């Protein structure tokens, strides 16, 4: 077997070498033997493909750095080249502690192998097309000047089960951090299974996570009491309900964190609305009721009744997953909707506010010291409760999300600048923020076309005013699984890695991880459109199949 190679023109941060493995030719001028006992991962990679045989030529593209440095995470290339269209296999050759160096002699094949950072096996000679793909994905400074420190990080309560935490588990392993998890007492935790914690969680510490004034102190005491290291470098949580206590514990431990007051406001829908009072229209209404009896007492008051202008929205003050949210059109629907709120899950306090029409969106921000590293805007398709004529029993559960947004560039900038200002005003300057909102008086509306397909299209009738951003809620955490993985695939930005790096203020790696693709054919640099479709159950019960998604794919492979 002989290896023929061609060195391609360099880009700003990398250069590639195309290698063809083929049956030995007597006329070959550029063949050198590969050691029978390969010394490194690059030579092992080539030896494996040589052993598989080259009855027909094999095409391999090697990636070389133009500057010396260290990788920011394990599996960097496998993550950054996600959905690379031509690859049969993608393999990174380096480890975090090993310095990657530029090739000193591109006429020496062994020197090229020694400098290669990664290899891509191509099904055919797709070199030119692959070059453009690589430029869109690696058009950034992707190496560190020194090896990444091994941080000690604390997670206050993990995900409820393995499937929801799989992306976070992979990020923790790739970033090579030492992690401990604080979990609630008296409950069997999925991390207690050694197979789940392997390589991810160094220790699971059970703590009394009862919501009271001393919770931050108990969290801090558990961290200080851990004997596995001298001190923690960072602390964060994946749950809304622990955001305030975790921020307060961070202050006790003298660790970086957002102001606890910022979390107190953002997790309380009434406080958040009051914080934005100056941004609301003069006719915007906001009420707070402690259950249905309190609502009746004020609305039906014979002396000074609260007059609610309909349609209005009812929602739990600290609810989640759109549970308990309803659009109401009269007092009877108002009272019924408040009574239906699951107080065991969300408490009995609700807000009632003016319903704001307009396209709903999800906005994701990655901030570093107040600067926007990454911004994503996703169209959130109408829920059942948004439909004309929907009753108060119609749900506001998500139906579908499409990224990137089809809003105009001007309207996207309105959302971006407005929400960025709100985050900074609250005191949020580091980390990931998943924000839900609507664009009032948008030039777009959701409408079905002649085929019945609903999409965000130009309005038929002009809006009555200038477009403005209406914030629904701020979630200072990683969004749901569907949204997080769609962003990884669409932009190459790993949301699960962001809070780990942000909580220790690792600016070098956070800058790399949060840099999106730069495909020139798309305004926002994304590699394609991506839609997440939510299949919402209409009633409770037990799955007929143990693998409902797999069964659906088997029935409808066209999906």
Tell me the three-class secondary structure of 509-559, residue by residue.
HHHHHCCCCCCCCCCCCCCCCEEEECCCCCCCCCCCCCCHHHHHHHHCCCC
- Do 222 and 73 fall into the same domain? no
Rounded distance, CA 130 to CA 84, Å? 8
The encoded tokens of residue 538 equal 């209409």
Contact 249, 155 (CB under 8 A): no
Structural domain includes residue 143: no
Can you give the pLDDT at residue 36?
A: 45
- Do 200 and 53 fall into the same domain? no
> Domain containing 340: what range?
269-354
The CB density around residue 526, as the number of other CB atoms within 10 Å, is: 22
Q: Which residues does 354 contact at the CB level (< 8 Å), separation at least 6?
A: 283, 284, 285, 286, 309, 312, 313
Rounded distance, CA 345 to CA 352, Å? 18
Structural domain includes residue 391: no
- Do 252 and 313 fall into the same domain? no
Structural domain includes residue 324: yes
Structural domain includes residue 264: no
- Do 185 and 302 fall into the same domain? no
Contact 327, 385 (CB under 8 A): yes
Can you give the pLDDT at residue 41?
A: 85
- Do 294 and 331 fall into the same domain? yes
Can you give the pLDDT at residue 34?
A: 55
Split into its structural domains, the chain has a count of 4
Domain of 225, CATH number, reads 3.40.50.20
Contact 215, 209 (CB under 8 A): yes
- Do 93 and 195 fall into the same domain? no
- Do 107 and 160 fall into the same domain? no
- Do 67 and 203 fall into the same domain? no
Q: What is the DSSP string of 142-160?
A: --BSSPPP--EEEEES--S
Can you give the pLDDT at residue 313?
A: 94
The CB density around residue 539, as the number of other CB atoms within 10 Å, is: 4
Rounded distance, CA 75 to CA 494, Å? 12
Structural domain includes residue 392: no
Average pLDDT of adjacent 10-residue blocks, the chain of 559 residues: 90 96 65 55 86 84 97 96 94 94 88 94 88 97 97 90 83 95 85 76 92 97 94 95 97 98 96 88 89 93 90 89 88 93 87 94 98 97 80 79 95 98 98 97 92 91 93 94 92 97 98 97 93 80 82 86
Can you give the pLDDT at residue 486?
A: 95
Structural domain includes residue 146: no
Question: Exposed, middle or buried, 74 (CB in 10 Å: 0-12/13-18/19+)?
Answer: middle
Rounded distance, CA 215 to CA 208, Å? 8
pTM across the whole model:
0.92
For residue 287, how many C-alpha atoms fall within 13 Å in the half-sphere facing its CB? 24
Tell me which of 88, 108, 137 is where a domain ends: 137
Tell me which of 137, 165, 181 is where a domain ends: 137
Contact 211, 241 (CB under 8 A): yes
């Amino acid at each position: 077997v002989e290896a023929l190679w061609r060195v391609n023109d360099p880009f700003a941060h990398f250069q590639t070498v195309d290698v063809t493995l083929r049956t030995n030719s007597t006329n070959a001028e550029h063949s050198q033997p590969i050691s029978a006992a390969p010394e490194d991962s690059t030579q092992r990679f080539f030896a494996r493909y040589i052993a598989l045989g080259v009855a027909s030529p094999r095409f391999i593209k090697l990636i070389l750095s133009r500057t010396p440095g260290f990788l920011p995470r394990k599996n960097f290339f496998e993550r950054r080249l996600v959905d690379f269209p031509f690859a049969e296999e993608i393999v990174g050759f380096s480890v975090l502690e090993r310095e990657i160096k530029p090739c000193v002699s591109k006429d020496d094949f062994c020197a090229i192998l020694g400098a290669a950072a990664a290899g891509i096996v191509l099904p055919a000679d797709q070199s030119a097309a692959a070059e453009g793909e690589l430029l869109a994905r690696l058009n950034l400074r992707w190496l560190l000047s020194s090896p990444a420190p091994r941080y000690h990080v604390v997670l206050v309560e993990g995900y409820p089960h393995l499937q929801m935490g799989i992306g976070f588990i992979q990020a923790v392993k790739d970033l090579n951090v030492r992690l401990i998890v604080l979990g609630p007492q008296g409950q069997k935790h999925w991390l207690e299974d050694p197979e789940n914690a392997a390589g991810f969680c160094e220790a699971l510490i059970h703590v009394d996570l009862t919501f009271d004034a001393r919770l931050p102190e108990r969290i801090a005491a558990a961290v200080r009491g851990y004997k596995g290291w001298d001190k923690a470098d960072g602390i964060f949580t994946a749950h809304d309900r622990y955001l305030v206590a975790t921020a307060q514990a961070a202050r006790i431990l003298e660790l970086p964190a957002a102001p606890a007051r910022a979390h107190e406001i953002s997790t309380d829908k009434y406080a958040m609305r009051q914080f934005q009072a100056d941004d609301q229209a003069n006719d915007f209404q906001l009420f707070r009721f402690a259950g249905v009896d309190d609502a009746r007492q004020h609305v039906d008051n014979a002396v000074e009744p609260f007059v609610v202008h309909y349609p209005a929205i009812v929602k739990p003050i600290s609810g989640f997953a759109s549970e308990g949210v309803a659009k109401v059109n009269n007092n009877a629907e108002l009272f019924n909707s408040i009574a239906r709120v699951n107080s065991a899950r969300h408490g009995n306090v609700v807000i009632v506010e003016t319903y704001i029409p307009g396209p709903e969106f999800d906005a994701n921000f990655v901030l570093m010291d107040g600067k926007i590293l990454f911004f994503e805007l996703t169209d959130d398709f109408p829920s059942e409760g948004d439909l004309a004529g929907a009753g108060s029993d119609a749900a506001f559960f998500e139906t579908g999300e499409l990224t990137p947004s089809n809003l105009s560039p001007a309207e996207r900038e309105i959302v971006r600048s407005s929400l960025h200002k709100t985050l900074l005003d609250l005191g949020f300057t580091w980390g990931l923020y998943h924000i839900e909102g609507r664009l009032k008086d948008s030039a777009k509306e959701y409408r079905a076309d002649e085929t019945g397909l609903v999409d965000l299209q130009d309005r038929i009738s002009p809006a009555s005013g200038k477009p403005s951003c209406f914030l629904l809620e701020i979630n200072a955490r990683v969004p749901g699984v569907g949204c997080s993985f769609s962003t990884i695939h669409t932009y190459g930005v790993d949301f699960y890695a962001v809070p780990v790096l942000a909580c220790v203020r690792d600016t070098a790696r956070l800058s790399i991880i949060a840099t999106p693709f730069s495909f020139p054919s798309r305004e926002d640099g994304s590699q394609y459109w991506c839609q997440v479709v939510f299949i919402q159950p209409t009633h409770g019960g037990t799955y007929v199949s143990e693998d409902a998604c797999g069964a659906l794919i088997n029935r409808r492979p066209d999906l």
